Structure formats: structure tokens, C-alpha cells
Amino acid sequence: MNLSVLTGIFFIGAGAFSSGSFAVPFGKIKGWSWETYWMIFSTGAYIIFPLLACLIFAPGFVSIIRETDSQTLVSVFLLGAVYGVGNLSFGLALRYLGLSLGYALSLGLMLAIGTLIPPLLDGRLEVMLNKESGMLLIYGVIIACFGIALSAWSGILKDKQVSDAEKKKSISEFSFVKGVLASALVGVTGSAMSLGFERGLPITEIAAEQGVDELFTMMPLLVVLFSGTFVTTIFWCGFLGYRNKTLINYIKAENRSVFVFNYLFGLLAGLLWFSQFILYGMGKSKMGPFTFTSWGILMALTIVSATVWGLLRKEWKGTSRKVYFLMILSLVIIIVSSFMIGISGSE
């Protein structure tokens, strides 16, 4: 493994920590419905911070987008809209399962599908399977899935061992069935982001031609991708707000201080979530010709980060040593798999 790939893994790991931490500020929001604070988070994550990043790192992003062919723009936008369904479901999974179990179940399918689908669609996977690196990739994905399944199993044991009252101390709306259903939808739709990255490569190439630093050529792509995600979010959160009569939350809270801090914590969550893509873009640019492996590393290490946060938030309080051991073992397996996937792209 060369130094460039190691540097890439470092940046992607930092992005994973940011991603695994983004939901922590939600715990500080008071008196708002889920759809309200998710909408504020989404406004920051999908619109405000991507535009700010472009203004700083790719100030000519408007001309870059104009120069991109319409077919690429439409496909990236639509994939972003599909990803919006996945990310809304992801928010529900975290709401009902907590950070550690919600991340493990939701990102599990995204790890496997998001790593394999892009090279499968464009023919790279068939070529790689004839090489040692291709088999290493497959083994890495299989091991990752095993680790994630083990993590899910530890979550099931936790659900059986911990009383409902204890669960709701750390996860106020805990519901295992609802959380699993939401996680399944995340796995099916969430990998659209990985496809969006691959289909949006012409945007990054134009950005590079116009002099954007290689570390930040993804920024214009993210603006297009997340525009689609934001549209999906507006429709769903708006519908929930109307149905649940919570639209008043946007202009009212129990007092002025809570109101201001609710907005700040929602936007902070958006900043943490979006930061992963700056770091991911920096890391991916160092990963060589097999850039699709970056997605697998990001997903695996994000699960690790979220699980650590889950421990700190005492989401696993009241479980046996066996469950703790299974959870820690699953983390070790996922870490190993992420580096196997990364190494497969450097050979």
C-alpha cells in the first residue's frame, strides 16, 4: 500500500468520525418534533454548507455546472432524490434504535451495495475478479457484512435484555420493529449516493479542468446531488409537519433561548454531517483508479464511530458482558474489513 492510499484512508476515517457524530446535537434539541429538527439539519447539510464549501473551494461552481451535460446533471439529481428517501429513513432508524444499532443496521447494506454496484454496472468488477485485488475486495465486503450482522445480533440481544424503561432513558422513542424497517429501506435506497458519485465524475473532471484543487473537485457535484436530496426532504418533512400540526415549531419554542439553540444544534448537526464529504472527497482523491472502495471504508468506520458514541451515551447500559463482547468483536471485524476493501483498491 503506497503513502497516497494511507493518506486517503486517514482523511476518510476523519470524515467517518464526523459522520458518526452528527446526530449527537439532536439530543440537545428541546420541544421540537423529529420532522422539524430534521428539516433544519437538512437545510444546513444539503444547501447552506455545500454552497459555502463551493464558494470557498470552487468559486466557479456555477460555470462548472453549466458546462456539464444535462444527462449527467439529471441523473445525479435523481439519484440524490432517491438518496433523500434513504437519508429520511436513516433519520427514523436513529430515532427508533439509537446511534450504535441504527448505524450498524442502516449502513450495513449501504456498505455492501455501495461498494459493489458502481463497478458492477460499468464492468470494472468483472475485470477485478480476475485479479487478486478483486478477490480481496469481495472478501472484504463479505467480512464487513459478517461484522455488521454480528453487530445487529448484539442489538437484538440487547433488545431482549434491557427493560423498556431503561431503553427509553437513552433512546426516548425506542422501537425495534420500526427501526429495523427503516434500516431496511436505508439499505435499499441509500446506496444511490455512491452511484451519484460515480455518475457525477464528469462534474469533478470539469472542475479539475477549471483549476479547482483535486481535494475539492467533489464540491460542485455535491451541490447537484444534494439538491435532489433536499427536494425529497422538503416534501416529506412538510407533509409530516402539516399532518402532525408541528409547522409552528419553525417559528416558536418554549422560550427564545431554546428556540435559538434548537436552530444552532440543528445546523451544527448539518455541519458535522456535511464535513464528512469534504474529508471524504479529500481522501477519495488519494485512492487511485479504484476510487469506489472509498465508500466501503467510509461506511465501515462511520459505524465504528457511531458505536463508540452509543457507548458514551449509555445506549448499551444494562446488557450482559456477552453482548458487550459481541459488540466489540463486531467493531474489530468491521475495521479489518474496511482496510481490506481499501487495500484492494491500491493493488
Read out DSSP for 258-323?
HHHHHHHHHHHHHHHHHHHHHHHHHHHTTSTT-TTHHHHHHHHHHHHHHHHHHHHTTTTTT--HHH
pLDDT of residue 222: 94
pLDDT of residue 194: 76
Neighbours of 300 (CB within 10 A): 33
The identity of residue 259, as a single letter, is F
Does residue 169 register a pLDDT over 70? no
Distance, CA of 15 to CA of 36 (rounded, Å): 26
pLDDT of residue 289: 65
Separate counts of helices (H) and strands (E) for the chain: 16, 0
pLDDT of residue 62: 95
pLDDT of residue 145: 82
Q: What is the dihedral of CA 127, 131, 132, 138, to 10 degrees?
A: 20
pLDDT (average), residues 303-314: 82
Non-local CB neighbours of 313 within 8 Å, separated by 6+ positions: 24, 27, 98, 99, 170
Distance, CA of 16 to CA of 294 (rounded, Å): 11
Does residue 201 register a pLDDT over 80? yes
pLDDT of residue 106: 82
Distance, CA of 222 to CA of 64 (rounded, Å): 12
pLDDT of residue 242: 94
pTM of the entire predicted model = 0.82
- Extract the C-alpha cell encoding 9: 484512508
Distance, CA of 121 to CA of 41 (rounded, Å): 33
**Chain centroid offset of residue 308 CA:** 16
pLDDT (average), residues 210-229: 92
Non-local CB neighbours of 234 within 8 Å, separated by 6+ positions: 39
pLDDT of residue 166: 62
212 or 290, greater pLDDT: 212
pLDDT of residue 118: 67
Distance, CA of 300 to CA of 288 (rounded, Å): 20
- Extract the C-alpha cell encoding 13: 476515517
Task: Tell me which DSSP letter residue 46 carries.
Answer: I
The mean predicted confidence, pLDDT, of the chain is 84
Q: For residues 145 and 107, is the Cβ–Cβ distance under 8 A?
A: no
In the chain, % of residues over pLDDT 70: 90
Closest CA to 219 of 58, 79, 331, 329: 58
187 or 74, greater pLDDT: 74
Does residue 9 register a pLDDT over 90? no
107 or 75, greater pLDDT: 75
Neighbours of 165 (CB within 10 A): 8
Dihedral class, residue 209 (left if φ above 0, else alpha if ψ from -120 to 50, else beta): alpha
Could you report the per-residue pLDDT of 32-73, keeping only the tens digit for each? 999 999 999 999 999 999 999 999 999 999 999 999 999 999
218 SS3 class: coil
Rounded to 10°, the helix 201-209/70-97 angle is: 120
Q: For residues 23 and 99, is the Cβ–Cβ distance under 8 A?
A: yes
pLDDT of residue 15: 93
Candidate ranges 107-116, 178-187, 254-263, 304-313; pick with highest mean pLDDT: 254-263
The identity of residue 232, as a single letter, is T
- Extract the C-alpha cell encoding 342: 481499501
